[in-house]
Amino acid sequence: MSVTDLDQAPTAPSECGRRSTSPRRSVARRSRVVREFVLIVTAIVLYFLVRGLIDSRIAVAFRNAEHVVRIEQSAGLFVEPDLQDMVVQRGWLVDAANYVYIYGHWPVVALTLAWLLVRHRDAYGRFRNAILISGAIGLLIFALFPVAPPRFLDGYGFVDTVTEQTTAYRVLQPPAFINQYAAVPSLHFGWNLLMGIAWAGLAGSWVGRLFGWLMPPAMLAAIVLTANHYVLDGIAGGLIALLGLVLATRIMTTQSDRLARGRVRSPRRPVGTDQRT
């Protein structure tokens, strides 16, 4: 065997390895896309099932809304009418609140998850699972405790600023595809809080981190000022979202520990080692 043969010999396995791993990566990528699609479709189906249950309990949703108002009044938290009255007197504040409420939720959630999937794949699963866990908890509460939003209540002076000032939100989310009696908890705020945590903790620029810090309180203000949620909704939505993040983190930590223990128990043999006895 010549020196040239010796130099070229090790390259053959690596090229073969690249050829064999490329299809595996492609299959793994397709499997992940299918898994994400199944998760999303399952969540949508569950949502519509719960929405169907609530549509027949509208009277209960209004009674529960009055309960929420009384709880806030007893705790000194029923400030929504006064806050909205101040905003309605200033057109630019109404526009700002509507803009944040409309374009600061689903577009932000979708773009943040895409950013995590591309730039921070290890963190993507944790935040995706946090959304799914908190969403499951929210669906259970929606089914057991439907609540009409403030904009549906008479006698308190609430104004549905989103519907009266713009049609954009109803185009993005037609009434037929949303649960209008799911005021408690506000996952509109809760999921934005999760996205804010992701940006504040993972963004490489100060602009991204600043966005992560400012976006959740801006959404909390928007859900109240547009009369779509109560203050109590925001508190509940934030706590449930954080609970989802804690549980998602614990799940991923447990999975990582299991994988680490598996590697210790079954160490990989060096390539080329003769395993025959």
End-to-end CA distance of the chain: 28
Work out the mean pLDDT of the chain and round it to a whole number: 82
- Least Cα distance to 127 among 139, 141, 117, 138 occurs for 117
Question: How many whole angstroms separate alpha carbon 21 and alpha carbon 153?
Answer: 60
Task: Quote the CA–CA distance of 238 and 234 in Å, as a whole number.
Answer: 6
- Using the CB atoms, write b or e for 157-193: b if 16+ within 10 Å: ebbebbbebbeebeeeeeeeeebbbbbbbbbbbbbbb
pLDDT tens per residue, range 206-261: 999 999 999 999 999 999 999 999 999 999 999 999 999 999 999 988 877 777 77
Say which residues have a Cβ less than 8 Å from residue 262's Cβ, sequence separation at least 6.
none
Q: Is residue 182 predicted with pLDDT exceeding 90?
A: no
pTM over 0.85: no
Question: Is residue 181's pLDDT more than 70?
Answer: yes
Residue 97 burial class via C-beta count within 10 angstroms: exposed 0-12, middle 13-18, buried 19 and up:
buried
Digit-coded pLDDT (tens) for 58-69: 899 999 999 999
- What confidence score (pLDDT) does residue 226 get? 93
What's the confidence (pLDDT) of residue 270? 56
Q: Which amino acid is at 150?
A: P
pLDDT > 80? residue 24: no
Of all residues in the chain, the percent with pLDDT exceeding 70 is 74
Helix (H, G, I), strand (E, B) or coil at 225: helix
Confidence of residue 120 (pLDDT cuts 50, 70, 90): very high
pLDDT band at 11 (very low <50, low <70, confident <90, very high): very low
Assigned token pair, 214: 């400012």
The model's pLDDT over 70-115, given as tens digits with 9 standing for 90+, comes to 999 999 999 999 999 988 888 888 889 998 998 899 899 989 998 9
One-letter amino acid at 52 equals: G
Round to whole Å and give the CA distance between 102 and 129.
24
Mean pLDDT of 193-213: 96
